[in-house]
Amino acid sequence: MFKNKRKREKRENMELDITSLLDILVILLVFLLKSYSASELRLDVAKGIRLPSSDSKTMGNHALIIQMNQKRHIWLNNKLLDESGNLDKLAQELSKYKDDKEKKEFVNIVLDQELEYAQIKELMTLIASNGYPKLKLIVKGDY
Amino acid sequence: MKAKKKKKLEKLNLIPILDAIFIFIFFLLMSAQFIDIYQLETEAPVTQAVSKEEIKDKEPLNLKVIINDKNVVIKTGLSTSKSKSFDSTEEGLKNMQQYLTKLKKSHPKEKTVTIAPKNKVTYKKIVPVIDKVKTATDKGIAIELFSLVVFEN
Protein backbone atom coordinates (compact mmCIF):
# COMPACT_ATOMS: atom_id res chain seq x y z
CA MET A 1 0.00 0.00 0.00
CA PHE A 2 2.79 2.35 0.98
CA LYS A 3 4.75 1.42 -2.15
CA ASN A 4 1.77 2.17 -4.42
CA LYS A 5 1.37 5.63 -2.91
CA ARG A 6 5.03 6.42 -3.63
CA LYS A 7 4.64 5.27 -7.25
CA ARG A 8 1.63 7.50 -7.74
CA GLU A 9 3.54 10.48 -6.33
CA LYS A 10 6.37 9.83 -8.76
CA ARG A 11 4.01 9.74 -11.76
CA GLU A 12 2.36 12.99 -10.75
CA ASN A 13 5.74 14.72 -10.55
CA MET A 14 6.58 13.78 -14.13
CA GLU A 15 3.72 15.81 -15.65
CA LEU A 16 4.95 18.91 -17.52
CA ASP A 17 3.13 22.22 -17.55
CA ILE A 18 3.05 23.19 -21.24
CA THR A 19 0.63 26.10 -20.92
CA SER A 20 3.39 28.74 -21.12
CA LEU A 21 4.90 27.03 -24.17
CA LEU A 22 1.49 27.03 -25.81
CA ASP A 23 1.16 30.76 -25.11
CA ILE A 24 4.44 31.46 -26.91
CA LEU A 25 3.44 29.28 -29.84
CA VAL A 26 0.13 31.09 -30.25
CA ILE A 27 1.93 34.47 -30.30
CA LEU A 28 4.42 33.08 -32.85
CA LEU A 29 1.50 31.86 -34.92
CA VAL A 30 0.03 35.37 -35.10
CA PHE A 31 3.30 36.82 -36.46
CA LEU A 32 3.76 33.98 -38.92
CA LEU A 33 0.22 34.42 -40.21
CA LYS A 34 0.96 38.13 -40.72
CA SER A 35 4.00 37.34 -42.85
CA TYR A 36 2.20 34.67 -44.87
CA SER A 37 2.30 35.31 -48.59
CA ALA A 38 0.04 33.60 -51.11
CA SER A 39 2.38 34.52 -53.99
CA GLU A 40 3.80 31.60 -55.96
CA LEU A 41 7.03 33.55 -56.51
CA ARG A 42 9.80 32.59 -54.10
CA LEU A 43 12.57 35.11 -54.22
CA ASP A 44 15.92 35.53 -52.47
CA VAL A 45 16.96 39.09 -53.18
CA ALA A 46 20.67 39.14 -54.08
CA LYS A 47 23.28 40.94 -52.00
CA GLY A 48 23.26 44.72 -52.30
CA ILE A 49 19.90 45.04 -54.08
CA ARG A 50 17.44 47.53 -52.62
CA LEU A 51 14.00 47.20 -54.20
CA PRO A 52 12.00 50.35 -55.05
CA SER A 53 8.65 50.84 -53.30
CA SER A 54 5.44 50.56 -55.29
CA ASP A 55 1.66 50.74 -54.82
CA SER A 56 1.26 47.57 -56.89
CA LYS A 57 -0.65 44.68 -55.35
CA THR A 58 -0.16 42.17 -58.16
CA MET A 59 1.30 38.92 -56.88
CA GLY A 60 4.41 37.54 -58.55
CA ASN A 61 4.46 34.42 -60.71
CA HIS A 62 7.07 31.75 -60.99
CA ALA A 63 9.48 32.30 -63.92
CA LEU A 64 13.16 32.99 -64.58
CA ILE A 65 14.56 35.57 -62.16
CA ILE A 66 17.21 38.02 -63.36
CA GLN A 67 18.78 40.31 -60.78
CA MET A 68 21.16 43.24 -61.14
CA ASN A 69 22.66 45.34 -58.36
CA GLN A 70 24.13 48.84 -58.49
CA LYS A 71 27.61 47.48 -59.31
CA ARG A 72 26.05 45.68 -62.33
CA HIS A 73 26.57 42.21 -60.90
CA ILE A 74 24.11 39.86 -62.62
CA TRP A 75 22.31 36.85 -61.19
CA LEU A 76 20.13 34.35 -63.04
CA ASN A 77 17.95 32.22 -60.74
CA ASN A 78 20.17 33.09 -57.75
CA LYS A 79 23.36 32.05 -59.57
CA LEU A 80 25.96 34.81 -59.94
CA LEU A 81 26.79 35.10 -63.65
CA ASP A 82 28.97 38.15 -64.03
CA GLU A 83 30.65 40.78 -61.89
CA SER A 84 31.92 43.04 -64.66
CA GLY A 85 28.60 44.31 -66.03
CA ASN A 86 29.07 42.37 -69.26
CA LEU A 87 25.76 40.98 -70.53
CA ASP A 88 27.21 38.33 -72.88
CA LYS A 89 27.14 35.59 -70.25
CA LEU A 90 23.46 36.33 -69.57
CA ALA A 91 22.68 36.15 -73.30
CA GLN A 92 24.41 32.76 -73.46
CA GLU A 93 22.48 31.43 -70.47
CA LEU A 94 19.13 32.73 -71.78
CA SER A 95 19.70 31.08 -75.15
CA LYS A 96 19.85 27.71 -73.34
CA TYR A 97 16.19 28.13 -72.37
CA LYS A 98 15.04 28.81 -75.96
CA ASP A 99 13.90 25.24 -76.59
CA ASP A 100 12.61 24.64 -73.08
CA LYS A 101 9.04 23.29 -73.26
CA GLU A 102 8.08 24.94 -69.98
CA LYS A 103 9.48 28.29 -71.09
CA LYS A 104 7.27 31.28 -70.27
CA GLU A 105 7.20 34.48 -72.30
CA PHE A 106 8.06 36.61 -69.32
CA VAL A 107 10.87 36.95 -66.80
CA ASN A 108 11.00 38.50 -63.35
CA ILE A 109 13.49 41.34 -63.14
CA VAL A 110 14.89 42.41 -59.78
CA LEU A 111 16.80 45.68 -60.03
CA ASP A 112 18.47 47.98 -57.55
CA GLN A 113 16.59 51.25 -57.08
CA GLU A 114 19.68 53.35 -57.87
CA LEU A 115 20.31 51.83 -61.33
CA GLU A 116 20.08 54.32 -64.20
CA TYR A 117 17.66 53.80 -67.08
CA ALA A 118 20.51 53.47 -69.63
CA GLN A 119 21.67 50.31 -67.82
CA ILE A 120 18.13 49.02 -67.36
CA LYS A 121 17.32 49.56 -71.05
CA GLU A 122 20.41 47.64 -72.12
CA LEU A 123 19.40 44.72 -69.90
CA MET A 124 15.73 44.78 -70.98
CA THR A 125 16.61 44.92 -74.68
CA LEU A 126 18.91 41.91 -74.30
CA ILE A 127 16.27 39.90 -72.43
CA ALA A 128 13.60 40.76 -75.03
CA SER A 129 15.87 39.82 -77.92
CA ASN A 130 16.34 36.40 -76.31
CA GLY A 131 12.64 35.58 -76.44
CA TYR A 132 11.17 37.25 -73.36
CA PRO A 133 9.19 40.33 -74.50
CA LYS A 134 7.21 40.65 -71.26
CA LEU A 135 9.06 41.86 -68.21
CA LYS A 136 7.78 41.74 -64.68
CA LEU A 137 9.50 44.31 -62.52
CA ILE A 138 9.75 43.06 -58.96
CA VAL A 139 9.01 45.76 -56.41
CA LYS A 140 8.54 46.13 -52.68
CA GLY A 141 5.09 46.78 -51.22
CA ASP A 142 4.52 50.37 -50.11
CA TYR A 143 3.39 51.02 -46.54
CA MET B 1 -13.97 10.67 -3.41
CA LYS B 2 -16.37 12.58 -5.72
CA ALA B 3 -14.40 15.80 -5.40
CA LYS B 4 -11.26 14.02 -6.66
CA LYS B 5 -13.03 12.90 -9.87
CA LYS B 6 -14.13 16.47 -10.63
CA LYS B 7 -10.58 17.77 -10.38
CA LYS B 8 -9.32 15.22 -12.90
CA LEU B 9 -11.94 16.28 -15.46
CA GLU B 10 -10.89 19.93 -15.26
CA LYS B 11 -7.42 19.24 -16.68
CA LEU B 12 -7.30 19.68 -20.44
CA ASN B 13 -5.06 17.57 -22.61
CA LEU B 14 -3.24 20.17 -24.70
CA ILE B 15 -0.80 17.82 -26.42
CA PRO B 16 -2.86 17.23 -29.63
CA ILE B 17 -3.35 21.01 -30.06
CA LEU B 18 0.36 21.50 -29.54
CA ASP B 19 1.12 18.90 -32.21
CA ALA B 20 -1.21 20.60 -34.67
CA ILE B 21 0.31 24.03 -33.97
CA PHE B 22 3.82 22.68 -34.52
CA ILE B 23 2.85 21.30 -37.92
CA PHE B 24 1.07 24.57 -38.77
CA ILE B 25 4.17 26.59 -37.80
CA PHE B 26 6.33 24.47 -40.09
CA PHE B 27 4.15 25.25 -43.13
CA LEU B 28 3.84 28.93 -42.21
CA LEU B 29 7.62 29.25 -41.85
CA MET B 30 8.01 27.68 -45.28
CA SER B 31 5.63 30.19 -46.89
CA ALA B 32 6.69 33.23 -44.88
CA GLN B 33 8.08 36.19 -46.79
CA PHE B 34 9.43 38.93 -44.62
CA ILE B 35 9.29 41.64 -47.30
CA ASP B 36 6.13 42.14 -49.33
CA ILE B 37 7.04 41.45 -52.94
CA TYR B 38 4.79 42.45 -55.84
CA GLN B 39 5.24 42.89 -59.57
CA LEU B 40 4.71 45.57 -62.21
CA GLU B 41 3.92 44.21 -65.65
CA THR B 42 5.76 45.95 -68.47
CA GLU B 43 6.94 45.28 -71.99
CA ALA B 44 10.44 45.54 -73.34
CA PRO B 45 11.64 48.58 -75.32
CA VAL B 46 10.00 48.54 -78.76
CA THR B 47 9.28 50.84 -81.65
CA GLN B 48 5.54 51.02 -82.20
CA ALA B 49 3.92 51.46 -85.55
CA VAL B 50 0.41 52.82 -86.04
CA SER B 51 -1.49 51.61 -89.10
CA LYS B 52 -3.15 54.08 -91.49
CA GLU B 53 -6.54 52.46 -90.83
CA GLU B 54 -6.20 53.19 -87.14
CA ILE B 55 -5.52 56.85 -87.91
CA LYS B 56 -8.51 57.04 -90.32
CA ASP B 57 -10.86 55.57 -87.74
CA LYS B 58 -10.00 57.98 -84.98
CA GLU B 59 -6.65 59.49 -84.20
CA PRO B 60 -5.06 57.33 -81.50
CA LEU B 61 -4.19 58.86 -78.16
CA ASN B 62 -0.51 57.91 -78.58
CA LEU B 63 0.16 58.53 -74.91
CA LYS B 64 3.81 59.01 -74.08
CA VAL B 65 5.28 59.75 -70.65
CA ILE B 66 8.75 61.29 -70.72
CA ILE B 67 10.50 61.02 -67.37
CA ASN B 68 13.16 63.64 -66.72
CA ASP B 69 15.17 64.01 -63.54
CA LYS B 70 12.96 66.74 -62.08
CA ASN B 71 9.73 66.57 -64.05
CA VAL B 72 7.43 64.30 -66.04
CA VAL B 73 6.09 65.36 -69.45
CA ILE B 74 2.95 63.82 -70.91
CA LYS B 75 2.59 63.90 -74.67
CA THR B 76 -0.51 62.93 -76.61
CA GLY B 77 -1.59 62.88 -80.25
CA LEU B 78 0.05 61.99 -83.55
CA SER B 79 -0.25 64.83 -86.05
CA THR B 80 -0.84 67.59 -83.52
CA SER B 81 0.85 66.67 -80.30
CA LYS B 82 -0.06 68.19 -76.96
CA SER B 83 2.26 68.15 -73.99
CA LYS B 84 1.87 68.90 -70.30
CA SER B 85 4.56 68.95 -67.63
CA PHE B 86 4.34 67.89 -63.98
CA ASP B 87 6.91 67.99 -61.15
CA SER B 88 8.44 64.72 -59.99
CA THR B 89 7.24 65.40 -56.43
CA GLU B 90 4.43 63.35 -54.89
CA GLU B 91 2.03 66.26 -55.35
CA GLY B 92 3.06 66.67 -58.98
CA LEU B 93 2.57 62.96 -59.66
CA LYS B 94 -0.90 63.11 -58.11
CA ASN B 95 -1.79 65.97 -60.47
CA MET B 96 -0.44 63.89 -63.35
CA GLN B 97 -2.65 60.99 -62.27
CA GLN B 98 -5.72 63.26 -62.26
CA TYR B 99 -4.83 64.46 -65.76
CA LEU B 100 -4.44 60.84 -66.91
CA THR B 101 -7.82 59.94 -65.36
CA LYS B 102 -9.44 62.67 -67.51
CA LEU B 103 -7.61 61.35 -70.59
CA LYS B 104 -8.83 57.83 -69.85
CA LYS B 105 -12.43 59.07 -69.60
CA SER B 106 -12.16 60.66 -73.05
CA HIS B 107 -10.39 57.59 -74.53
CA PRO B 108 -11.84 54.59 -72.63
CA LYS B 109 -10.56 52.04 -75.16
CA GLU B 110 -6.93 53.12 -74.93
CA LYS B 111 -4.76 50.89 -72.76
CA THR B 112 -1.22 51.50 -73.93
CA VAL B 113 1.25 53.98 -72.55
CA THR B 114 4.82 54.46 -73.72
CA ILE B 115 7.30 55.24 -70.99
CA ALA B 116 10.39 57.13 -72.09
CA PRO B 117 12.78 57.87 -69.24
CA LYS B 118 15.97 59.81 -69.88
CA ASN B 119 19.16 57.76 -69.61
CA LYS B 120 20.29 59.25 -66.29
CA VAL B 121 16.95 58.78 -64.49
CA THR B 122 17.13 56.23 -61.68
CA TYR B 123 14.85 53.21 -61.34
CA LYS B 124 13.31 54.51 -58.09
CA LYS B 125 11.98 57.54 -60.01
CA ILE B 126 10.51 55.40 -62.80
CA VAL B 127 8.51 53.01 -60.58
CA PRO B 128 6.19 55.65 -58.97
CA VAL B 129 5.37 57.02 -62.44
CA ILE B 130 4.42 53.52 -63.68
CA ASP B 131 2.26 53.10 -60.54
CA LYS B 132 0.39 56.33 -61.23
CA VAL B 133 -0.02 55.59 -64.93
CA LYS B 134 -1.49 52.12 -64.39
CA THR B 135 -4.15 52.75 -61.76
CA ALA B 136 -5.89 55.56 -59.92
CA THR B 137 -8.33 55.67 -57.05
CA ASP B 138 -11.54 57.65 -57.24
CA LYS B 139 -13.49 57.89 -53.99
CA GLY B 140 -11.79 54.76 -52.69
CA ILE B 141 -12.50 52.77 -55.85
CA ALA B 142 -9.53 51.62 -57.95
CA ILE B 143 -9.75 52.59 -61.63
CA GLU B 144 -7.62 50.97 -64.30
CA LEU B 145 -5.96 53.64 -66.41
CA PHE B 146 -3.32 52.54 -68.95
CA SER B 147 -2.37 49.01 -67.98
CA LEU B 148 -0.13 48.14 -70.92
CA VAL B 149 3.19 49.79 -70.16
CA VAL B 150 5.76 49.74 -72.96
CA PHE B 151 9.25 51.17 -72.69
CA GLU B 152 10.38 53.31 -75.60
CA ASN B 153 13.44 52.20 -77.49
Q: Which comes out higher in pLDDT, residue A63 or B45?
A: A63
Contacts of B121 in chain A (CB under 8 A): 116-117
Q: What are the φ and ψ backbone dihedral angles of A113, each rounded to 5 degrees?
A: -65, -15
Residue B5: pLDDT above 60? Answer: no
* ipTM of the complex as predicted: 0.76
**A83, A90 Cβ separation under 8 angstroms:** no
Looking at residue B67, what is its pLDDT? 93
How far from A77 is each of A51, A64, A123, B4, CA to CA, in Å? 17, 6, 16, 64
The pLDDT of residue B46 is above 90:
no
**Could you read off the pLDDT of B67-110 as tens digits, one per residue?**
998 899 999 887 667 889 999 898 999 999 999 998 888 888 88
> Which residues make Cβ contacts (< 8 Å) with residue A116, sequence separation at least 6?
B119, B120, B121, B122, B123
Q: Is a pLDDT exceeding 60 seen at residue B51?
A: no
Crossing angle of helices A117-129 and A88-96, in 10° steps, is 30
To the nearest whole Å, the CA of A59 is away from the closest chain B CA by 5
Question: Chain A 49-108, CB below 8 Å of chain B: which residues?
Answer: 51-61, 108
Who contacts A117 (Cβ-Cβ below 8 Å, separation ≥6)?
B67, B117, B118, B119, B120, B121, B122, B123, B126
Tens place of pLDDT per residue across chain A (143 aa) = 555 555 555 555 667 777 888 888 889 888 888 877 777 777 888 888 999 998 888 888 888 899 999 999 999 988 888 888 788 888 888 888 877 767 777 899 999 999 999 999 999 999 988 888 889 999 988 75
- Give the dihedral of Cα atoms A42, A44, A49, A54; nearest 10 deg: 20
Alpha helix (H) ranges present in B12-51?
15-31
A19 neighbourhood in chain B, CB within 8 Å: 14
Interface check B12 vs A, CB under 8 A: no
Considering only CB atoms, A60 lies closest to which of B34, B39, B42, namely B39
A140 CA to chain B: closest CA distance, Å? 5
Q: Which residues of A touch B17 (CB under 8 A)?
A: 22
DSSP B42-75: EEEEE-----HHHHHHS-----EEEE-SSEEEEE
Instruction: Provide the H-helix boundaries in A14-138.
Output: 19-34, 88-96, 117-129
**B44 has pLDDT over 80:** no
Residue, of B16 and A105, whose pLDDT is higher:
B16
pLDDT at B47 over 70: no
pTM above 0.80, yes or no: no
Interface test with B, best of A37, A45, A55, A62 (most B CBs within 10 A): A55
Q: Report in angstroms the alpha-carbon separations of B99 from A76, B59, B84, B93, B128.
A: 39, 19, 9, 10, 16
Report pLDDT for B110: 87
Going by C-alpha positions, the residue among A90, A85, A88 that lies closest to residue A72 is A85
- Supply the pLDDT for residue A44: 83
Considering only the beta carbons, identify the residue of B17, B123, B131 that sits closest to A55: B131
Percent of chain B with pLDDT over 90: 28
How far is A75 from A63, CA to CA, in rounded Å? 14
d(CA A136, CA B39) in angstroms, rounded, equals 6
What pLDDT, on a 0 to 100 scale, did the predictor assign at position B130?
93
User: Span B28-55, mean pLDDT?
Assistant: 72
Give the residue, A118 or B138, on which the prediction is more confident: A118
Among A15-24, B9-18, B139-148, which stretch is predicted with the lowest mean pLDDT?
Answer: B9-18
Query: Residues of B with CB below 8 A from A120's CB?
Result: 123, 126
Rounded-to-integer distance, Cα A104 and Cα A63, Å: 7
Closest chain B C-alpha to A106 CA, distance in angstroms: 9
**Residue-level pLDDT at B141:** 82
Q: For residues B12 and B5, which has the higher predicted lDDT (pLDDT)?
A: B12
pLDDT score for B120: 92
Q: Cβ contact (<8 Å) for B37 and A141?
A: yes
Contacts of B42 (CB under 8 A, 6+ apart): A134, A135, A136, A137, B115, B130, B149, B150, B151
Candidate from A58, A135, A139 with C-beta closest to B127: A139
Confidence of residue B127 (pLDDT cuts 50, 70, 90): very high
Following CA atoms B100, A55, B40, B78 in sequence, which dihedral angle do they give, to the nearest 10 degrees?
Answer: 10
**For residue B33, what pLDDT band results from cuts at 50, 70 and 90?**
confident
pLDDT of residue A120: 92
Mean pLDDT of the region B25-30:
83
